Amino acid sequence: MSTTHNEKSSTVQRYSAGARVNHWITAGSLVLLAISGLALFHPSLFFLTAFFGGGETTRMLHPWIGVVLFFSFLGLFFRFWRANLWNRTDNVWMSKLRDVLAGNEENMPEIGKYNAGQKLVFWFMSALILILITSGVVVWDEYFYQYTSIDQKRYAILVHSLAAIAAISVWIVHVYAAIWVKGTIRAMTRGSVTGGWAWRHHRKWLRELVAGKATGAGK
């Protein structure tokens, strides 16, 4: 646990520097993948290839950025999977989703490091990135052309496109939620949150942190 005090408030460490770097590499590679993938997806979006130096360069870089995303997210997965395991409190949280959207958090159960919504984002992204890397390898002809058939490539492209759309949608929800809940972005920029933020949004986690029992504390 790492808690510091000043005259106005207390701050609580939520993420280590390593976790934050890991997160921003994942986020950056996901954005680059989305832009390059959309550029290759439809002729009307081909102008986006200009960000990567043209169509050929975009086609070459896209799968390699995907590899970076996969291994970067793998790092996040091993850091945080335990904290994202589903429990009974998450069922209660989901049943009171209207209170969450209305900002009536006093009616919500005490939450650990992540609420049910954050856990769903984590597990959806875990599954989608696995689907993306698997289907991506099937259509990565430069290295794997001889190992798959034309029909397999066609199915893989369809699956890859649908998974990419889903991943972009989940990412938008994730970013919106981080902006909507004031004080959340600070956790991934400074590594800490205010004591008041932790008490309001993740009270169980704060109690466990103070007791030295928090799962993945500071990772």
- In contact, 45 and 38? CB cutoff 8 Å: yes
Of 78, 84, 73, residue with least CA distance to 30: 73
Two tokens, residue 22: 């890991």
Taking the C-alpha atoms of residue 141 and residue 57, their distance in angstroms, rounded to an integer, is 15
**Torsion (CA) 59, 62, 64, 67 in degrees, nearest 10:** -150
- In contact, 151 and 95? CB cutoff 8 Å: no
The residues, ordered by sequence, that sit 6+ positions from 46 with a Cβ below 8 Å of its Cβ are 39, 55
- In contact, 108 and 79? CB cutoff 8 Å: no
The residues, ordered by sequence, that sit 6+ positions from 155 with a Cβ below 8 Å of its Cβ are none
**Degrees (nearest 5) of the Cα angle 77, 78, 83?**
75
- The count of residues in the chain is 219
- In contact, 77 and 126? CB cutoff 8 Å: yes
Q: Which of 23, 174, 201, 202 is catalytic?
A: 174
202 among known catalytic residues: no
Q: Tell me the sheet residues that pair with 13.
A: 192
Q: Where in the sequence numbering do the catalytic residues fall? A: 174
